[in-house]
Structure 1
């Protein structure tokens, strides 16, 4: 009889057999779903067999040694991080949050440009926002991740509390690697088919014992290769492999209730130290929501496998739609194990901050999730086979899928709030207070980088769309404007009189220029590219070929491009522009307004941007301040004329007439370097 048939393990990934996804979304996840507690229960059941006691003790000592080695490695890394933080803080005090150092020029912030659109890739460099977690090239990111993986000597992340020697997950993994304990377990279950027990620290002998156990399970328990594990699985550092091993062990234990008590018979109550205090309540919320998050990731992982099994997507599309999902789950299981360990000790002994210090590079796994989320949802929902097989899938429609795909980014943005609350309830004199402060900064940087990735991806699509919306670029090349940083519909008044009645413009802030457009009253064609003069130079042709494609997927994703207006997109007329290098001063006025003072070789003036809310105004203000600071650092010793001539584009004064007649809104040319921009009609 196959012992695994019709047996649902609480260790395995979530079952597909759910009536609807609302049950999954609202399912209450407890400690019984946590790998940490599953291992605790299995360990307690194994302790009932006296023959296993010396092997359990040896596994404990080995796990303890590994935890000590990991703590030493992390202490060294933490010291390096503090030194890096001091250096970054010093640099960020003189450089912008959006930009690289002056010597690297503005264009080094990102290579998201129209010239690179034909390759449909985004390549970003790191932001110098006093951050611990910074984007880098894919090569360096992989290098950093590999470096951190080498520090993972146990199944926990970070440094354990001083009162904790090791975690039960690492202990059980080391127990199984001895080989002979598996034979002892089998002999207890099937005494009529006893295996030879050979205790040794020789790896070859250990592997021979594991091999004997696997063969015996096939022969006497009729388990298949798919149901069993391999020798390499035993020595793997993978939580997924360990879960498979635990499934088999649990099945054997369940078959001998007279020797191994059932899981329900093990009296172990999960408790959180000082759970009635404010700190304890926050730890409880942190832990419970983390358990649910890991469970939801496993649901999503099962769903992704279903899509491949039902031939809805292929393996290449699998990675594009669910990037790094397996690696993310591996990381988050370890993250949860570490939280479980810390929740058991007194507040002053907890090392939750250390978890984030150790995790800083692993959070880079989430970067692909911040790009193309909407595209992934729309792509799957657009596939006919998705709707046809919905009844067989664990996630059944687009709305449910969206809920799960958004969870990773939502969770990352939740960490800063939880850590901030923990920091507020941690005494300043606590030995781990500084570590918690560091964790807060790391979590904020992670969330900021995720948001920045999403913003850049959206802006990349907006620029492609903008190219086709403009009636006449008047000789200007959008590919030379730099990265699009912000865009919005803004009312503008001239001369600083914010009481004037104003016209609304669509304003685009690039790295090198602010460009103003007014709506022409005509609509863009369905392809989004009709009617525009070539403002892209050499990138124009390649843009037209790729504009309907996704940055990630290569088909059926044109409907995910962000729109600038509700409903149909209107065509735009170019009304004015001012080079960032000619801006002298940016001053907030009131709650929503921003006064910009500019100067050219022949004249000077100012205008006021009127935003809808204070937050948007503040974002634009900070960005412009940073841009101006960078240019002053590069060209501060040069006169206005030399600063002007350092750019290939021209500068014009923006003269906004308050008459709402479109013809009265004109642009007075003051000085050009390469080409003169005609006055608008």
Structure 2
């Protein structure tokens, strides 16, 4: 970086200025790379010798802009061809006749489809479609951007020598104009050596030859810093030129574009602050490289992209509204917003790390010296991505141009999808932490294993009732997993209140399921996290959902049904938005269950065979009262879908029961309307148990799965050591050494 006190491009290290003032600092055109380059170009135009080189740089940068537009157009065509040929390609591949071309896997720079979650195997290389320092395509009235023009000017080599000679005429460098790359590089090399010798630049403040020809904005800024330092050292040759303020339109659309550009400038400035702080941490070696990436993932790439994005916004702000292509800018840039995914996923971990480790990251000369302000800076990227849909919506509402409206509509869809994806990433990350804490908060999991619930989708404190106005609502912590809905209540002093959830038996006789609810208001035992302990009160399997219906403004009625029973309950949420999120997620899960059920039906003869094979492995909404262990079977007649063992119990005499060795279990197997018994050592593993059962039934058929009936009356697969451990714990608690299982071929 060049002499910092004179540079207007590189972010200075601000020691005396507070971080709070950095956050609130108004960013103007003087901080914009686009306007800085406009000003430098005007200063250079004051030197007659350099004008021909500026004209040549303008022509070459105009050519680069046309090339970029052509690349984007080609990618658009490739993308459209790919979407049209998806069906035929799939058919060809299935017949072994087709291969997928690599070009079809490349990023589509201009797509009429909105941003989606589909996997893109392309990388996010800027160089693939961006050969200028602006994103996308220019408005039709703009030939090139000034940043690219100056970059091409410096690449000629000889203009740098002319600048040096104007500043230091007593130490003139040879000026050799040529389009030969070697001669251009020789001129650049001479310039670098002269700056080091006569301006006492350090190696860190100077640039390299490869920096001049690089397409990265960081490298260009290093070159620009040195050039500005030379210009400022000779004000009589290169007098200061005031930065022209943009003349914004006074229309509503003009005001929105102005807000768009000015807030984008501030955002890029904040990213620069964050990057400066990151570099300070890196130079001091205060934290590891892994911790640096966790705090600032993809920061360099994000800044490079956002600088180009801002340059394009600045250009669009210079032209009439009907010529603006802000919508197209989002369409061209949509894949680069995926750079933010690691940022959104790791933000919670970053904030936690700052909370615990900021003391070692704090120095008086650092650009950020406050923990809360660093957290504020880290939130900026996600906040900005969520701001784009609002700005685009306002712009779309004010746009009267038909072509622009179409682009803005697509851009709005893209920005909303980006914001949704960012929010979804954060929600999933937060949910993983919630599940970790939940595991320790629950007093007794009743034999359930949280690892088998699938991913946690939503959780909230919800009021639950049956929908009967005469019955009282009670609050539960409700967790929606992919496979199950679980209800918890806080562990508090008991006051005997109760709630009844209306339920009908399969025979349509009325009955009531009671969930005993502890009183509210007493102090709650807390877990290690400081949150209250929870008691598992009830659950409903997703496979048993029947119908989900939004009612009123905040309520969701859920009807469930299993082969043994059915019923309903009403969830009352804090607001309509939360209710709709739960409803949408439950509807998706319900469709998945029905789709799987349809596939299962196609592989079985009829519905009755599904029932006899226990398609629904769990009953629906069981009470798990910690005092009485009350179950649905306690308040409803049980309608078994399996043959009962009750009558067979009589055939086992008390003498025979007593004769079973203490180290042995008697396993009674129901298979194809017949019963078999085997003795198994309690300490044997699950593999040994399954082998013994299969050997016993070899003559009767091949066994593919085995289920047992748990203490709640549910039929659970017996297939792992964990399952086997739960079974043994259940028998130990009941002091029973007889296990009833069902085998299926």
TM-score by length of 2: 0.73
Q: Does residue 1:193 correspond to 2:171, yes or no?
A: yes
Query: Is the 8 Å Cα contact of residues 493 and 501 (structure 1) preserved in structure 2?
Result: yes
Give the corresponding residue for 1:397.
370
Corresponding residue SS for 1:185:
helix
Query: Is the 8 Å Cα contact of residues 133 and 360 (structure 1) preserved in structure 2?
Result: no
Give the corresponding residue for 1:530.
none
Alignment of 1:200-279 (within 5 A): 200-264=178-242, 268-272=244-248, 275-279=249-253
Corresponding residue SS for 1:432:
helix
**Structure 2 Cα separation of the partners of residues 178 and 566 of structure 1:** 66
**Structure 2 Cα separation of the partners of residues 570 and 564 of structure 1:** 4
The higher-RCO structure (CA 8 Å, 6+ apart) is 1
Alpha-carbon deviation of 1:295?
A: 0.6
Query: Is the 8 Å Cα contact of residues 488 and 508 (structure 1) preserved in structure 2?
Result: yes
Alignment of 1:462-473 (within 5 A): 462-473=434-445
Give the corresponding residue for 1:413.
386
Give the corresponding residue for 1:435.
407
Query: Is the 8 Å Cα contact of residues 581 and 644 (structure 1) preserved in structure 2?
Result: no
**Structure 2 Cα separation of the partners of residues 604 and 416 of structure 1:** 44
Alignment of 1:15-54 (within 5 A): 15-54=13-52
Distance 1:384 1:175, change over 3 A: closer
**Structure 1 Cα separation of the partners of residues 238 and 62 of structure 2:** 26
Alignment of 1:412-491 (within 5 A): 412-427=385-400, 429-491=401-463
**Structure 2 Cα separation of the partners of residues 222 and 645 of structure 1:** 88
Give the corresponding residue for 2:330.
356
Query: Is the 8 Å Cα contact of residues 12 and 243 (structure 1) preserved in structure 2?
Result: yes
Alpha-carbon deviation of 1:565?
A: 9.9
Distance 1:87 1:15, change over 3 A: farther
State the Cα deviation string for residues 535-565 of structure 1 (Å, max 9, x = none): xxxxxxxxxxxxxxxxxxxxxxxxxxxx999
Alignment of 1:515-530 (within 5 A): 515-521=486-492
Residue of 670, 678, 681 corresponding to 2:711: 678
State the Cα deviation string for residues 409-449 of structure 1 (Å, max 9, x = none): 0000000000011111112x522221111111110011000
**Structure 1 Cα separation of the partners of residues 607 and 541 of structure 2:** 12
State the Cα deviation string for residues 348-396 of structure 1 (Å, max 9, x = none): 1001112111211111111111123233233234237437x44232222
Query: Is the 8 Å Cα contact of residues 390 and 397 (structure 1) preserved in structure 2?
Result: no
Aligned length: 584
**Structure 2 Cα separation of the partners of residues 81 and 400 of structure 1:** 43
Alignment of 1:567-606 (within 5 A): 568-606=530-568
Corresponding residue SS for 1:383:
helix
Corresponding residue SS for 2:341:
helix
Query: Is the 8 Å Cα contact of residues 4 and 10 (structure 2) preserved in structure 1?
Result: no
Alpha-carbon deviation of 1:294?
A: 0.6
Alpha-carbon deviation of 1:41?
A: 0.5
State the Cα deviation string for residues 96-118 of structure 1 (Å, max 9, x = none): xxxxxxxxxxxxxxxxxxxxxxx
Alignment of 1:61-80 (within 5 A): 61-79=59-77
Give the corresponding residue for 1:134.
117
Query: Is the 8 Å Cα contact of residues 12 and 247 (structure 1) preserved in structure 2?
Result: yes
Give the corresponding residue for 1:551.
none
**Structure 1 Cα separation of the partners of residues 396 and 474 of structure 2:** 47
User: Structure 1 stretch 405-414 or stretch 632-641: which is displaced more?
Assistant: 632-641
**Structure 1 Cα separation of the partners of residues 598 and 538 of structure 2:** 26
Residue of 595, 609, 630 corresponding to 1:633: 595
Distance 1:618 1:642, change over 3 A: farther
Unaligned runs of 5+ residues in structure 1 are 89-129, 523-562
Distance 1:60 1:397, change over 3 A: same
State the Cα deviation string for residues 467-488 of structure 1 (Å, max 9, x = none): 2222333333322221111111
Residue of 316, 319, 344 corresponding to 1:345: 319
Residue of 349, 353, 366 corresponding to 1:375: 349
**Structure 1 Cα separation of the partners of residues 244 and 376 of structure 2:** 34
Corresponding residue SS for 2:478:
strand
**Structure 2 Cα separation of the partners of residues 70 and 283 of structure 1:** 24
Query: Is the 8 Å Cα contact of residues 57 and 149 (structure 2) preserved in structure 1?
Result: yes
Q: Does residue 1:493 correspond to 2:460, yes or no?
A: no
Alpha-carbon deviation of 1:200?
A: 1.6
**Structure 1 Cα separation of the partners of residues 162 and 38 of structure 2:** 19
Report the structure number with the largest CA radius of gyration: 2
Corresponding residue SS for 2:349:
helix
Query: Is the 8 Å Cα contact of residues 485 and 509 (structure 1) preserved in structure 2?
Result: yes
Unaligned runs of 5+ residues in structure 2 are 87-112, 494-524, 642-705, 714-732, 734-745
Alpha-carbon deviation of 1:667?
A: 4.3
Alpha-carbon deviation of 1:519?
A: 2.7
Alpha-carbon deviation of 1:26?
A: 1.1
Alpha-carbon deviation of 1:10?
A: 1.3
Distance 1:462 1:645, change over 3 A: farther
Distance 1:230 1:6, change over 3 A: closer
Query: Is the 8 Å Cα contact of residues 354 and 375 (structure 2) preserved in structure 1?
Result: no
Give the corresponding residue for 2:739.
none
Residue of 478, 490, 509 corresponding to 1:507: 478
Distance 1:80 1:348, change over 3 A: farther
Query: Is the 8 Å Cα contact of residues 161 and 173 (structure 2) preserved in structure 1?
Result: yes
Alpha-carbon deviation of 1:646?
A: 9.2
Alpha-carbon deviation of 1:319?
A: 1.0
Residue of 118, 121, 124 corresponding to 1:145: 124
